[in-house]
């Protein structure tokens, strides 16, 4: 398995502010990767750099196993769906498809038309006259018609209602099931990630805070509930990501791979992805990046 996106020392400065800084990251191919973080964390910047829309101020970014982002070969293999489905609203769906076909070396017209027919989206309708959900579906159709090896989506769910959101994700997951495509999508909605992502990257304040396979992340974290006065003792044994305590009781989110049993007097609970992500997002100083033990091809240091 190759690498979908690889960055080293990547930074992007707009004016005086660094939108992304000193980011080294390797996302293996074959995953559905969720890129989460609060608004303004650098998600869009990272994705823009990966598709070659922006040029790095520092460092470099490569896609699909070593192609420089934005190079002709990279543009052929990477499809991008921008936020708000940036399509030409004054064109009909059919014309929009034609635009896509004319801009790409690889294009599957039959697949695109089939998808739209399945969704019941009429080809003669103007893109601007479609509902938000339909527009996203058209944008996804255009992205998939390229037959990309890597599909990058910037906040695809942000503007959608719950039904459209579900339908969109269903369509995306069906595409993943049908062929060998790596997906990276950004979102500030954490709740729906768990059923969709198998790899997670958390960005915060222009830096990568957490990166890893969802399974490893959830297996490597536990919540311990126990007496507040023992917190310090626990904190000496395990790295504590988040510490919530009252006068008597404390909940500690700890990071450890091998917790065979809870310490005496403490109860152990598994941790869900949402809880985990929120905990990291609330504690910007904590970070969880694949350590040397796990580092296969995905060396990360941000």
Asked if 209 interacts with other proteins (CB under 8 A), we say: no
Cβ closest to other proteins, residue 169 vs residue 286: 169
Cβ closest to other proteins, residue 88 vs residue 131: 88
Q: From the list 13, 125, 126, 147, which residue makes contact with other proteins (rule: CB under 8 A)?
A: 147
Cβ closest to other proteins, residue 53 vs residue 158: 53
Q: From the list 41, 51, 121, 130, which residue makes contact with other proteins (rule: CB under 8 A)?
A: 51
Asked if 149 interacts with other proteins (CB under 8 A), we say: yes
Q: From the list 10, 142, 201, 252, which residue makes contact with other proteins (rule: CB under 8 A)?
A: 142
Q: How many residues bind other proteins (CB under 8 A)?
A: 70
Least distance in angstroms from the C-beta of 284 to other proteins? 26
Least distance in angstroms from the C-beta of 285 to other proteins? 28
Alpha carbon 38 to chain centroid, angstroms: 13
Asked if 171 interacts with other proteins (CB under 8 A), we say: yes
Q: From the list 124, 177, 232, 246, which residue makes contact with other proteins (rule: CB under 8 A)?
A: 177
Asked if 29 interacts with other proteins (CB under 8 A), we say: yes
């Amino acid at each position: 398995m190759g690498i979908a996106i690889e960055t080293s020392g990547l930074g992007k400065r707009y004016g005086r502010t660094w939108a992304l800084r000193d980011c080294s990251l390797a996302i293996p191919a074959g995953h559905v990767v969720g890129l989460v973080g609060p608004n303004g964390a650098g998600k869009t910047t990272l994705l823009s750099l990966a598709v070659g829309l922006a040029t790095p101020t520092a460092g470099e970014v490569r896609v699909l196993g070593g192609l420089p982002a934005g190079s002709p070969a990279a543009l052929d293999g990477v499809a991008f769906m921008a936020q708000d489905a940036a399509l030409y609203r004054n064109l009909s769906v059919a014309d929009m498809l034609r635009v896509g076909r004319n801009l790409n070396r690889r294009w599957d017209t039959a697949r695109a038309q089939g998808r739209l027919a399945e969704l019941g989206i009429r080809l003669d309708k103007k893109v601007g006259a479609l509902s938000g959900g339909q527009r996203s579906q058209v944008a996804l159709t255009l992205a998939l018609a390229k037959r990309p090896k890597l599909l990058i989506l910037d906040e695809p769910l942000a503007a959608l209602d719950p039904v459209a959101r579900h339908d969109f994700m269903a369509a995306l997951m069906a595409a993943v099931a049908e062929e060998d495509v790596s997906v990276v999508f950004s979102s500030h909605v954490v709740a729906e990630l768990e059923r969709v992502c198998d790899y997670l990257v958390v960005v915060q304040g222009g830096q990568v805070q957490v990166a890893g396979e969802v399974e490893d992340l959830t297996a490597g974290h536990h919540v311990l509930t126990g007496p507040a006065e023992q917190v310090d003792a626990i904190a000496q044994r395990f790295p504590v990501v988040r510490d919530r305590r009252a006068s008597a009781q404390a909940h500690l989110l700890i990071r450890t791979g091998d917790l065979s049993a809870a310490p005496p007097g403490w109860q152990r609970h598994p941790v869900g992805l949402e809880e985990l992500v929120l905990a990291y997002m609330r504690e910007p100083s904590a970070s969880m990046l694949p350590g040397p033990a796990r580092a296969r091809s995905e060396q990360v240091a941000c």
